[in-house]
Amino acid sequence: MTTRGRTPGQPGLLRVLNDRAALELLLDDGPLTRNEIAQRTGLSKPTAAEIIRRLEAAALIREAGTAPQAGRRGPSAVVYEAITDRDLGVAVDVQLVDVRSTVVDAAGRTFPVATHTMSPAEMRAPGADIVAAAISRAAAAAGVDPDLVTAVSIGVQASVDHATDTLIFTDGLPGWPRDRVAATLSAALGVRVVIENDANLAAIAERNMGAGRTPGSFALFWMAEGLGMALDLGGHLHTGASGAAGEIGYLGVPADARSIDPTATIVADLISESAIIALAAEHGITAPDGTAADWRQVLPQLPGLPEQHPFTTALGERVGHNVLPALAVADPETVVLHGPTGIAGGPALAAAVTAWLRTRTRWSTAVVAPGVPDTPVLHGARHVLIDVVRTALADRLERISDDVPAPDPAERP
């Protein structure tokens, strides 16, 4: 079996593997000297020198000064860094009204987040226009050239069937294509497009840096204008045959929950915007001027409520009815309450759901607040994009490694 004309073990393949290991080391650890690259990869100094020669020729690394340690000079004192400002990505979170975006590079550095509230006309605009504007805002916030953006990762309120490249289970996104969605956006924008359900991206963020780091499995409930769920099993997202795993909000209201809200027909109705507004009015939660509060005015008040506040208890019961089907089917180790409602409810809402489950059902699953409450969808999209950008760099590295001549033995340091 050959790999692009090479058999495993041939020098060309070994060069690619060594070059890739050194590049990833520079991306993960930051600037290093030739000797440090040799030490950390376990390669010889002459081999490290050849790697540096090839990476420089490929415009993947550059000199970044000299090592500060006293007594060093010459080639061994030169520090090299990965070039991360020529192949950039942009992570985009498209919610019902708000769009957030941020630049991503292969090293995973943090860039400013650009936030924009769409007008009704913008909400109906073509998806490519919405994403293009988000890219421009992110690039401006980061002070980079938008022409350097080569990939975009987009989180949306919809399920994505990656096998057929279609959007399903969405009640919004009026100007977005439903078929060949990533391909259509990519052709319009001129960059690679990765599109994913927002709850799934939030779960990626929680697995990498939040409440999902420890448990073997967890279900993340994304409670926003709608309801979605992401299921992480051992570090892998279970999205189902068509990408629709987690669309539990469309389940019918169980018989024992009908008395809570006789107007609800599906479980998502129990924790919808209108349901939370009505629940707030019932428990005396109003707008700052004393009038009836809308959904966006209710949520900021939740963190200040006492843990045993009747509103929190009542909302916990409603959330519990939404969580229960996932426990019965998947039995995850942990449940993370996320999205605007889960973030606002915080530990108090998680405690209320836990109490309801343990007193009214046979489950005693740990229910927790988000570990990544700030821009979780963007964080998940960033993790996806870092891999995408690094893969693009590695592909370029594989193409050039055999084209860069090895140095003459007399030139080896």
pLDDT in tens, 252-295: 999 999 999 999 999 999 999 999 999 999 999 999 888 989 99
- Would you state the pLDDT for residue 77? 83
- 211-368 is a CATH 3.40.50.620 domain: no
Give the domain ranges of the chain: 11-83, 88-202+378-391, 211-368
- Would you state the pLDDT for residue 9? 43
Those residues whose C-beta lies under 8 Å from the C-beta of residue 345, and which sit 6 or more positions away, are 302, 312, 315, 337, 352, 369
Separation of alpha carbons 238 and 223, rounded Å: 19
> Is 86 or 26 the better-scoring residue by pLDDT?
26
- Would you state the pLDDT for residue 8? 39
Fold (CATH) for 11-83:
Arc Repressor Mutant, subunit A (1.10.10)
Q: Answer yes or no: is pLDDT of 408 > 70.
A: no
pLDDT band with cut points at 50, 70 and 90 for residue 138: very high
Token representation of residue 215: 């448990």
Residue 265 burial class via C-beta count within 10 angstroms: exposed 0-12, middle 13-18, buried 19 and up: exposed
Q: Nearest CA to 329 among 245, 393, 236?
A: 245
Those residues whose C-beta lies under 8 Å from the C-beta of residue 222, and which sit 6 or more positions away, are 198, 199, 202, 228, 229, 230, 338, 339, 342
Half-sphere exposure of 200 (CA within 13 A, CB side): 24
Separation of alpha carbons 140 and 127, rounded Å: 20
- Would you state the pLDDT for residue 71? 53
- Would you state the pLDDT for residue 69? 64
Architecture of domain 88-202+378-391: 2-Layer Sandwich (3.30)
- Under the phi-then-psi rule, with left for phi > 0, alpha for psi from -120 to 50, and beta for the rest, what region is 246? left
Rounded mean pLDDT of 14-32? 92
- Would you state the pLDDT for residue 396? 78
pLDDT band with cut points at 50, 70 and 90 for residue 2: very low
Q: 11-83 with 88-202+378-391: one CATH topology?
A: no
Least confident of 113-117, 171-175, 195-199, 297-301: 171-175
DSSP-based three-state secondary structure for 196: strand
pLDDT band with cut points at 50, 70 and 90 for residue 61: very high
The set of long-range contacts for 165-171, using a CB threshold of 8 Å and a minimum separation of 24, is: 167/195, 168/242, 168/243, 168/244, 169/244, 169/247, 169/250, 171/226
- Would you state the pLDDT for residue 409? 42
pLDDT (tens digit, 9 = 90+) per residue, 356-404?
A: 999 999 999 999 999 999 999 999 999 999 999 998 888 877 766 555 5
Q: Answer yes or no: is pLDDT of 3 > 50.
A: no
Those residues whose C-beta lies under 8 Å from the C-beta of residue 310, and which sit 6 or more positions away, are 283
Write phi, then psi, for 237 (nearest 5 degrees).
-75, 130
Cβ neighbour number for residue 394 with a 10 Å cutoff: 17
Helix then strand count (H, E) for the chain reads 12, 15
Least confident of 1-5, 17-21, 24-28, 53-57: 1-5
- Would you state the pLDDT for residue 15? 84
Q: Is the dihedral of CA 193, 194, 195, 201 positive or negative?
A: negative
DSSP 31-67: -EEHHHHHHHHT--HHHHHHHHHHHHHTTSEEEEEE-
The DSSP output letter for 286 is B
Q: Answer yes or no: is pLDDT of 406 > 60.
A: no
Separation of alpha carbons 129 and 93, rounded Å: 14
Separation of alpha carbons 104 and 353, rounded Å: 36
- Would you state the pLDDT for residue 7? 40
Q: Nearest CA to 340 among 378, 311, 376?
A: 376
Separation of alpha carbons 20 and 28, rounded Å: 12
Rounded mean pLDDT of 286-312? 92
pTM to 2 decimal places: 0.90
Token representation of residue 186: 């990519």
Q: Answer yes or no: is pLDDT of 37 > 90.
A: yes
Half-sphere exposure of 330 (CA within 13 A, CB side): 26
